[in-house]
Structure 1
Amino acid sequence: MANSPQSAKRARQNERRFEINKARRSRIRTFVRKVEEAIASGDKDAAQTALRVAQPEMMRGVTKGVAHKNTVARKLSRLSGRVKALA
């Protein structure tokens, strides 16, 4: 339980940010899942378009502090490599 008005306010702000960040993470995962499904189906065009849509969403997660820059860079690199490998 918060002991001071300041800590009570911080607790409220943390709850609000947690909900926003949770929604943003979920949204990013959805975009990544769409790329994964396109790769699994073997459709290169769909995979490329899904990756093109997912990329800015993942980078937005970096700017908003939801994900680390290197983590997103690694995941994008691996996804693009898998898309490129489709023949």
Structure 2
Amino acid sequence: MTKTVLVTGGTGFVGAHIIFQLLQRGYNVKTIHRSLSSKSKVIDTLRSNGINTFESLAFVEADLSKDDNWVIRPAVEGIVRVLKLLKMQV
């Protein structure tokens, strides 16, 4: 059974890199985005780095700045790990 990892913040540089690494290692990946309009940006980035198949990648739309969106069944079903990326303010 292939393990599934949930990655938040997948549109950012670090998030896209983590998704890339997980896909290369054979994981299924779910990534949460505020808007699914950013999906093509992630796919383009992955494709330009050698990922050509996307059956192992799923996108879930949710704004995680709102408490009720943290309990979204489509995002959390079947996952074994959650990687939450935070914006650092300096």
* TM-score past 0.5 threshold: no
Q: Which has the higher helix share?
A: 1
TM-score if structure 1 supplies the norm length? Answer: 0.31
TM-score if structure 2 supplies the norm length? Answer: 0.30
Which protein, 1 or 2, shows the higher relative CO under an 8 Å CA cutoff with sep ≥ 6?
2
Q: Which has the higher strand share?
A: 2
